[in-house]
A and B are shown apart, each in its own frame.
Chain A
Amino acid sequence: MFGSLIYAARRSVRNMRQSPFLCGAAVGTVAVSLSILALFAILALNVQELTRHWSEEIQVTVYMDVPPQEEALGEWIEKIEGYPEVEKVSYVSRGEAFDRFRERLSEDADLLEGLEPDILPASLGIGLKENFRNRAGAETLIEKLRENPSFSDFRYGQEWLERFETFADMLQMIVTVLGGFLLFATLFIVSNTIKLTLYARREELEVMALVGGTPLFIKTPFLLEGALQGTLGGLMALAGAFVFFELFLLEGLAALPFFSGLYGIIFLPGSHQLLLVLSGTTLGLFGSFISLRKFVRI
């Protein structure tokens, strides 16, 4: 068993040496298809990162007409922090609210001259846990908060959140559809290229069967070859995507106003890189497998 695997490996190396052009074509096809897929993944990843970043802004603000007693306030905060949706609670007193307002007005701050700091209500800013940073999460939390009669008004940027969610949903759909389509197209192209390489060796496949080669024995070198070419293509796609990323994407994307909120454009993380190379292996293996069924008949 081990011996025949070595034999198969030796044969696939010889095959590739004998037809370097076809071998190169197969590797090249995988490399090109997968780099497109990789670049697409980088784009999708960064957009996802961006929406995650945006969603950090989502918080529920509770306004209180009457400034709370310190003791009661401590109790409320403790209770709210006990809710499963809540990440953190921060209190903004009337004074702080006034100061912030003035800061935001900066140059026009003199407009506030003569006003008492108690024109603005005190409030609680409630940050949500990541899973609850959506309309449903905010609404359920507000339902619970209503039990406290001292809380007079609740805000969470309904309209903004609505638009944001529509956008995120659409993005998710585009990524899924386009990614699936790309993967399918890649498999199609790769399996056809491999079919071409098998077509060039059809006489060899035929003779092997006629002199008593078992289907497994005949197929193994070609499967190995496909896997090897696929892996090579995957590695090249990774390298290609990285070069393209460094040269163009890093600055190109950052220059778009759309991405300006992000701290930095990111490349594929390690797990995705491994996945990319393994997709190459799988593509090559699977592409060979489905093509071989057409050519190896006993």
Chain B
Amino acid sequence: MSAPSTDRRARGAGAARGADALDRSGAAQPGAGLAVERVRWSVDGTLIVDGVDCTAPPGAVTGLLGPNGSGKSSLLRLVAGVTRPDDGTVRLGGTDLVSMARRPRARVVAFVEQDSSTDLPLTALDAVLLGRIPHRSLLAGDGADDLRLAQDALARVGMAAFAGRDLGSLSGGERQRVHMARALVQEPRLLLLDEPTNHLDIAAQLATMDLVRTLAADGVTVLAALHDLNLAAGACDHVVMLSGGRVVAAGPVEQVLVPDVVEAVYGVRCEVLRHPRTGRPVLVLG
């Protein structure tokens, strides 16, 4: 997983290929990318997502931040179409995702859950191949193309050597990367990641964020729930800060990850420094 950018695959037209998303963060065309408006969702009368408005520009990585229970996973599930919002709209490049049929939506949106496991005996390669289901007839088996894509995806997440391993025998971090590969073979235009760096060591965390940035540079819109504010500061173009099911701040990293917001949301004091090499913000807590 050391050099994911050497493995870049060509994508459809409209992809702002080659340009670094960091420099384009303000240049997103309105209407493209993900637009969430007034989305509300409640369970048994308890409002969990409370009128969320936010956008994730195309070809950029948007971080979804917020304390435990702030509604990050719930919002991602709503955007993925797993649950239906009580109110509000979710659009991708102008297409309404909520009313879209499931199968076409599954060819456009991929979602890596916070936790997913199975008791079934399944190889890593087979697990990745599941991501091809929306792209082929439900009666068809894995084609040669599917196999090639799955092997490519495993290579991209640095798991090529594990293709034949039983999923149950992999470490948590290895499994996490297999799930990421499963999302990649779905060839999504919108990639939703719920704590993708969960279980990963620091090198793998950075490699995953690198991979995500490469995908974004290829034109994919990425919305990733993250806990590590510094990881978000280093790798995201935009961040959306949730608290109690509402958006409390959203925008470029430099505007959202400031001491006032962090203290208001987490109740933790912090200083913002500059990374000596990249110039990106670095948060020092306490």
A binds B: no
Contacts from A to B (Cβ < 8 Å) = none
Which residues of B approach A to under 8 Å, CB–CB? none
